[in-house]
Amino acid sequence: MTQHLADARPTSTGTQPGWWRDAVIYQVYPRSFADSNGDGMGDLEGIRSRLPYLKELGVDAVWLSPFYASPQADAGYDVADYRAIDPMFGTLHDADAVIREAHELGLRIIVDLVPNHCSDQHEWFKQALREGPGTPLRERFHFRPGRGESGELPPNDWESIFGGPAWTRVADGEWYLHLFAPEQPDFNWEHPAVQDEFRSILRFWLDLGADGFRIDVAHGLVKAPGLPDLGRDEQLKLLGNQVLPFFDQDGVHEIYRSWRLVLDEYAGDRIGVAEAWTPSADRTALYLRPDELHQAFNFHYLNTGWEAEALRSTIDESLDSMRPVGAPTTWVLSNHDVVRHRTRFGSLERARAAALLMLALPGSAYVYQGEELGLPEVTDLPDEVRQDPSFFKANGQDGLRDGCRVPIPWSGDQAPYGFGTGGSWLPQPAEWAGLSVEAQTGDPASTLELYRAALRVRRAHPALGAGDAVEWLPAPEGVLAFRRGDFVCTANTTTQPVRLPAPGTVLLASTDLTEPDVLPADSTVWWQG
């Protein structure tokens, strides 16, 4: 059993509790981070071996995407056993070693939990199929008779996020609900056995030393009573804010109140982080009331483009919505489900500027593996190597999530760039040689060293980190300028240099400054005001 990390490091607010209020949390996508055994697939031992890199980078915690036993129909988000490690990633001993070594380095570990659905290879579901209609195990899922003369039509008109009906018919004629792939049956969270099982799963990982949970599809657990028809022909969005009868139902909050009681049983500020796609920031805030979860991903910010007025509006809305519930705002630019922000924003310069802007904002920030290297989206993957299940659905999503999941480059001048000795499960571009950790380390102009410097300043500067407000300063059109204590951040989102009186001494800039009172195009500067 690993020794849990105590509250050893005061936060930048000078207080002991609430490490998560100003934490920088780094997302590791295990299959694409580091391969220790040469099979072309990242694994837990690879992660363990690279923890010193994350410590040096300057992050506070590491979020691990799923590594559970799984048939891998959806990259591990189809879990067959929540207490076992998939052999492709290692063993439970390896997971324990990652947690233990992370704690020794002063890093916390957040594990991904997938409570909306499981794998169709989960023992509960396999038993439910064997036992047939009307049996107790079927009540733990959403089995229904079909519509039509002989039950040949789905029970309602819900569409899967990945395309096609959200229902699959089994041999005995009943249908089961799956909001995602057919291999991912949804749990029935009205059933007490489901609720009991997940409280047990929480305790299993908390006992192992996990510092918290990122909760996948946190908004999807409860469905509207009676499973009513959607009533419109509308393709659902994986990352959207539609009002739907199976997302963001009020009943989810009772579940998270019960989870908070479990988290609070354990010392060391264990946390819950909601992946909650909701129609508004105010709806997201409901997940973060004092007796529920601690953080939620700020997808409204992720979806905002590189444009000053829109960014200011989103920042204000985000801070305003969290303030009534006393939760920190979170900021995120990329993750394993979206096109990398360097590509979304159109240039490395904008990506670097966006990173400094994000890290200057009050609250907690998330960094997706490889963004600190300035990695672009890989847009030219051959069809035969793609594995995103939505890619194979003609009427589903764009199926391009594989492009942000290509294994990251560590060293060397040719693929797999130190990822492992046996290639990589998705091909890496030739031009990534210059973007590797080895190539960028020690180069003051590199994106990696920019992130390292930014995280050092962020940790050391008393005005950065936790907080719930910014003071906006007058600025030309297209420029954001705000103050936090004696710290000032200016961001020029335009394609032209902008003259602005220097508000202090330069702490850090996303690009070279040729004149102290001129902000280069697509740049962010930190000032000691």
Which burial class, exposed, middle or buried, applies to 501 when counting CB atoms under 10 A from its CB (0-12, 13-18, 19+)?
Answer: exposed
Q: How far apart are CA 437 and CA 458, in angstroms?
A: 21
Contact between 298 and 318 under an 8 Å Cβ cutoff? The reply is yes
Q: How far apart are CA 424 and CA 416, in angstroms?
A: 6
Q: What φ, ψ does residue 389 adopt, rounded to 5°?
A: -60, -30
Contact between 75 and 114 under an 8 Å Cβ cutoff? The reply is no
Left (φ > 0), alpha (ψ -120 to 50) or beta: where does 87 sit? alpha
Q: How far apart are CA 359 and CA 452, in angstroms?
A: 12
Q: How far apart are CA 102 and CA 62, in angstroms?
A: 9
Q: How far apart are CA 56 and CA 128, in angstroms?
A: 48
Helices and strands, number each (H, E), in the chain:
13, 20
Q: How far apart are CA 247 and CA 249, in angstroms?
A: 6
List active site positions.
216, 265
Q: How far apart are CA 274 and CA 284, in angstroms?
A: 9
Q: How far apart are CA 37 and CA 58, in angstroms?
A: 27
Is 455 strand, coil or helix? helix
Beta bridge partners of 215: 113, 274
Within 378-486, residue ranges assigned H as helices are 437-440, 447-460
Sign of CA dihedral 193, 197, 203, 207: positive
